[in-house]
Amino acid sequence: MRLLIILAALALAACQTLDGPSQPTVETARGQQVLNAITVLGCTRAKTADARISRCTRLIDNAEKTATEKVSGDQLRVVGHVLRGLGYVDKREDGRALDDFNSAISLDAGHAQAYLARSTVWELRGDHAKMMRDLNTVVDLAPDRAEHYLARAAGWIVSEFPPERDEGPATTPAELRAIENATEDIEKAQAFDPELSDTYLLLGDINFELADFDTAIGYYSEAISRDRNDGSAYGNRATAYYRIEDYGSAIADFESAIRLDPDDASNYLKLGWILAAGPEGDLRDGDRAISLALEAERRASGEKPAALLFLLPTAYAESGRFDEAVRELERVLDFLRESAVQSNEDDTLRLLGLYVSAEELLEMFRNRKPFRFAETGQES
């Protein structure tokens, strides 16, 4: 589950459509007035992060000139800072984003969307305590909006199920409590708006963490039926299909996820591994896996996980280019040692329930043998 995308999308949607299904709160009515002025400037209609940042900067700088009797300059600046901050989040410039969100909150401490937007920074930084504090504030300030409960539900899950967690069903008291809290928030969201596709996306995530993959697939399919342009739903359903060994469906869904959300490196990565090392020979495609590996590396931001670094040499091996596979894997291992990202060559690579050591991969490639998931005997 990609909480950052969920939170950012909800925050942006909330700034664009503040007239919810319930009676507008004071904050909602004020936000709608601000929206009218912003729409004139096209701030919310920017197609790219850079365009949004540029337009929102002009909005902030010219707020007093744009202000009316009903919409003050400060109100314009608040939403300008929120939207510009979300542009910086898209660019992974979390410092600038945090400055914008803090500026919005300092101008209006009761603006729920500012806290919702700021939670994306804490998620980027892995500070789940601050993230949940902001998400609780969002619900407290505007308790009549379905998307606010959905955002907090997503927060409960990611707090206890981070990407680095070993795969397997929820078992600890903290994990089970997080699922209980998330389920309660989802039920509240459904009471306000039962048609929100993100509701079913999160229900799918919860059942995925419980290792009930068939039920998760059902919820992801429901989310897709409500929004066929939701790349997250396709990507998550693809992963669930993989876990029940329906590799053909997984490949089809990953292809859809890439088409709908081409900037998400994780879909290139996971599809690349299935094509490079999947157990079904008629589905493997080493050349396509090489392209996917290069595309995933190009789109990845921040520190690259071992699964990404090891994909390209594995894809080379699948294509029969073993000398290139060995050279690339040796280069990766040298980089990891020098950068202290990985202190031990025998650290394990985890991907979709698979464990394999770097040394094992290197030995296979030197012996001109490609890597296959099924050959480890450790598939979950």
The class level of CATH for 1-141 reads mainly alpha
The distance from CA 61 to its chain's CA centroid, rounded to whole angstroms, is 32
Q: What percentage of residues in the chain have a pLDDT greater than 90?
A: 41
| pLDDT tens profile 240-270 | 999 999 999 999 999 999 999 998 888 999 9
Does residue 120 contact residue 7 with C-beta atoms inside 8 Å?
A: yes
DSSP 3-state of 230 = coil
Question: pLDDT grade, residue 375 (50/70/90)?
Answer: very low
Question: pLDDT grade, residue 380 (50/70/90)?
Answer: very low
Pairwise CA distance, residues 325 & 331, whole Å: 10
Evaluate whether 1-141 and 264-380 have a shared fold.
yes
Does residue 179 contact residue 170 with C-beta atoms inside 8 Å?
A: yes
Domain 145-247 fold is 1.25.40
Report the pLDDT averaged over residues 266-294. 94
Question: pLDDT grade, residue 353 (50/70/90)?
Answer: very low
| pLDDT tens profile 157-210 | 888 876 656 566 667 888 889 889 988 998 998 888 887 778 888 888 888 888
| pLDDT value of position 55 | 87
Q: What is the CATH number of domain 264-380?
A: 1.25.40
Structure tokens at 94: 């979390």
| Most confident range, picked from 34-38, 42-46, 72-76, 235-239 | 235-239
Among the residue ranges 61-70, 96-105, 211-220, the one predicted with the least confidence is 61-70
Question: pLDDT grade, residue 214 (50/70/90)?
Answer: very high
For 354, phi and psi rounded to 5 degrees? -100, 140
In this prediction the pTM is 0.68
> What is the domain partition of the chain in residue ranges?
1-141, 145-247, 264-380
Q: What percentage of residues in the chain have a pLDDT greater than 70?
A: 77
Pairwise CA distance, residues 325 & 318, whole Å: 9
| pLDDT value of position 322 | 97
Mean pLDDT for all residues in the chain? 81
Does residue 190 contact residue 149 with C-beta atoms inside 8 Å?
A: no
